[in-house]
A and B are shown apart, each in its own frame.
Chain A
Amino acid sequence: MRVTFPQMAEVQILLETILHELGVETVSPPPINGETVELGVKYAPEFICYPFKMNLGNYLQALQRGADTVLMAGGCGPCRFGNYAEVQQEILRGLGYDVKFIILEPPRAGAPPFWRELLAFLGWRRMLKLPQALGFAWKKLNVLEEINRKVRWLQPREAQVGNALALYRRYRRLAAEASLVKDLALVRESFRQELAAVPRREGYRPLRILLAGEIYMVLEPNVNFHVEETLGRMDVEVHRAISISNWVKENLLRGLNRRAVQRQALRAEKYLRCFVGGHGRETVAEAVHAGVNGYDGMVQIMPFTCMPELVAQSILPEVGRDYRLPVMTLILDEHSGEAGVCTRLEAFVDLIRRGREKSA
């Protein structure tokens, strides 16, 4: 059994870590490139959202490289993501691939829940090793996210352009390759030391922009045109609350994080009274958070036709007015071009910067 899975930011590193710990062979799809987009767009339904198309492209590329099983999550709505796996399975079978899908469904969806599916996939011996593998992957995720977070802080402040990104690439790779908890701690320690040693522009206060929106588009740099790096190059400090670890905390470990989930709901309540699927309510909550905490702006990213984010987008102007928070929405799909996105981001940043200089 050679298992593949969709590409999404750190997810690939995590799944590889977990599955290798358990002794399962994996075939990772290559990073999302032109071919992925082409394949995905060709075989996916026309008006489906962009992540679906990218997933499909990932599978096709992995299948060409010898994968025969796809690991994917399910859901119970109302966002379309809950039906991704089933439709993708039909499309791949229709194309003549003999591919097995392992779909991890939440218990409420009306299908066999994820533990049954996992048990059938891994067997008891591996299942028993699963908690340990998950624990290690969780530690790795935390290191990876710390690296990302701190580099985003450093990038606008560095004295010489390029140091931060070089640091990021190197340590991300080191963290991904670490196979022992001990190594991971070493990586983290030496990252912190190197980060502190990078020369900085003293006293520079960069613009702070909050990134929010649909989780896949926000996190996967190859579909959002490396928006974090691009903004960093414009001397902007990028913050985002959306991350894989937060997703796990808010969805899989909901019981342990009731407070945080309630807080999100309360933040958004004045503007959006109920859950709307996906990250719609979170986006509105993030906007309120950005407004209250004096961020200089917010960028919402979503795929074309994303339902929950469209609801949020309709409401964001109101939030922006109340808190005098500039908000920009980037709607991306296969027709978006890098130059266009960069120009829009630049214009947005210039606008905010001008506003700040004026009021200062």
Chain B
Amino acid sequence: MRIGIPRALLYHWYGKAWESFLLACGFTPVVSPPTGRRQVELGVRAAQDEICLPVKVFMGHVRYLAEVEKVDAVFVPHQIQVEKNRFICPKFMGLPDMVRAVLPRGMPMLLWLNDRQRHLWSVQAVDGQIRRKLPKEKIRRALSLARQVASERWTELAQAAGSQNQGLQIGVIAHPYCLYDGHLSMDLLGRLRAADVQVLTPEMTPDRWLQAKIPGLNKPLFWTLGRRIMAAALYYAEQGVDGVIHLAAFGCGPESVVGELVARRLQEHGIPLLGLNLDEHTGEAGFATRLEAFLDLVTRRKSCCG
């Protein structure tokens, strides 16, 4: 049975693990190719106009898998909570039901449900259709393999990227599905590396920063990704980065709140911040120009003020 995995949203964290899980269960995982114009177009046509770009792109990948790859079922991660008492975003909670609206009638979905009771790599997270068919022991083994792959992926993400020289150090804050999707982020990481910049990403933030209280707020943020971004920004400030780039998708809800909180804290630290908003109309030239101007500015600032 060929199961399509859309290369979007949290695929960029957990995707490799899902692949090896399905493989170990005896299915044939089919991952959609990296996002391109094709998927964006399909997604924009299928999804509601006002929804955020990453969700549109997800729908595009789903349609691609259904129409081009002609898979037998689509794997849809339904991740309400991947850590205790934090949500990802309401759109993740409604994802399977939104996907149903764009899938051809009768195409089955395989869910991967994480919520308060069903932890990330627990047997309960696996769709009932798989659990009923396979022996529990086999699923357990596949899950432990998946967990291992996931932790490898995590180490890979947490390793410092780019040159280690004494050049510029720039922190990037963004959701993983914006940052690691080369098409959406206009290859921001590649561009920074090409400019010989040392890049910090939210995934490189040490765990203790994620647990720390955020100064000025009297309760922790209730979004997993927003909290990571907040913690990352504070960590970058502590590290004394030369500048921070905030990559956000147009219409992203949590980002509008977290972005404001981050901007205020970075301003207190006197760190330059470039806010880049992505949508399906973003042009590459405008993006590159803004990035270049920002890097020039930060470089000059560093050489002038030491």
Contact = CB atoms under 8 A, between A and B. Distances in A.
A327 to B, nearest CB: 13
Contacts of B252: 47
B218 interface: yes
Contacts of B97: 271-273, 311, 314-315
B101 A314 contact: yes
Interface string B219-255: 1111100000000000000000000000000111111
B157 to A, nearest CB: 24
B264 to A, nearest CB: 6
A48 B88 CA distance: 17
Interface in B48-72: 48, 50-51
B145 interface: no
B264 A274 contact: no
A311 B222 contact: no
B36 interface: no
A78 B90 contact: yes
A167 interface: no
A7 to B, nearest CB: 21
Contacts, number: 124
Contacts of B304: none
Given A110-B219, A311-B97, A87 B89 contact: no
Interface in A35-90: 45-49, 74, 76-80, 82-83, 86-87, 90
Contacts of B251: 47, 305
A87 B90 contact: no
Contacts of B51: 310, 314
Interface string A272-305: 1111111010000000000000000000000011
A111 interface: yes
Contact of A76 (B48, B217, B222, B253): B222
B164 interface: no
B80 interface: yes
A255 interface: no
Nearest to B80: A274
Interface in B200-219: 216-219
Interface in B72-93: 80, 85-91, 93
A220 interface: no
A50 to B, nearest CB: 12
Contact of A277 (B86, B93, B250): B93
Interface residues of A, number: 48
A280 B220 CA distance: 24
B87 A310 contact: no
B257 interface: yes
Contacts of A274: 80, 93-94, 115
Nearest to A86: B217
B264 A310 contact: no
Contacts of A109: 219, 222
B221 A315 contact: no
A305 B256 contact: yes
A108 B90 contact: no
B117 to A, nearest CB: 12
Contact of B260 (A48, A103, A308): A48
B257 A276 contact: no
Interface in A6-48: 45-48
B50 A304 contact: yes
B256 A315 contact: no
Nearest to A78: B87
Contacts of B93: 78, 274-277, 311
A354 B273 CA distance: 55
Interface in B87-121: 87-91, 93-94, 96-98, 100-101, 115
A317 interface: yes
Contacts of A315: 94, 97-98, 101
Given A47-B250, A105-B219, A112-B218, 6 more contacts: A76-B222, A78-B89, A276-B90, A307-B91, A310-B90, A313-B48
Interface of A: 45-49, 74, 76-80, 82-83, 86-87, 90-91, 94, 103, 105, 108-112, 271-278, 280, 304-308, 310-315, 317-318, 331
